[in-house]
Amino acid sequence: EPEVTQTPSHQVTQMGQEVILRCVPISNHLYFYWYRQILGQKVEFLVSFYNNEISEKSEIFDDQFSVERPDGSNFTLKIRSTKLEDSAMYFCASGLGAGDQPQHFGDGTRLSIL
């Protein structure tokens, strides 16, 4: 069964540093997403991406965050200057269609900011 893959599985970074989280969505999917889950809390939407542009973003997704699909397969999330509160599990997801289609999640990147 095709799956969403994410790298790295764990990233440890000093506060203020830039991080790039990488994802390879399922190949025939058209919609791409980033979510995050702070330890002990619920999964929260960050951003959705379709047709090479951001289609929606949450309040969490401020100017420190950016997404990119640099080629036909990768989908990246960049955090420009990390803060302690960015420590969380970051999940990439992809879906075939719009809101009525389920989204399939990668196994996540655990981001630890020191």
Partner 1 sequence: RKEVEQDPGPFNVPEGATVAFNCTYSNSASQSFFWYRQDCRKEPKLLMSVYSSGNEDGRFTAQLNRASQYISLLIRDSKLSDSATYLCVVGGYGGATNKLIFGTGTLLAVQP
Q: How many residues bind partner 1 (CB under 8 A)?
A: 29
Considering only residues 41 through 80, tell me which ones interact with partner 1, judged by CB under 8 A.
41-45, 48, 50, 55-56, 58
Angle at CA of residue 77, ends 2 and 24, nearest 5°: 15
The answer to whether residue 99 forms part of the interface with partner 1 (CB under 8 A) is: yes
Task: Pick one of 77, 104, 111, 113: the residue that binds partner 1 (CB under 8 A).
Answer: 104
In the bound state with partner 1, the residue whose beta carbon lies nearer, of 14 and 59, is 59
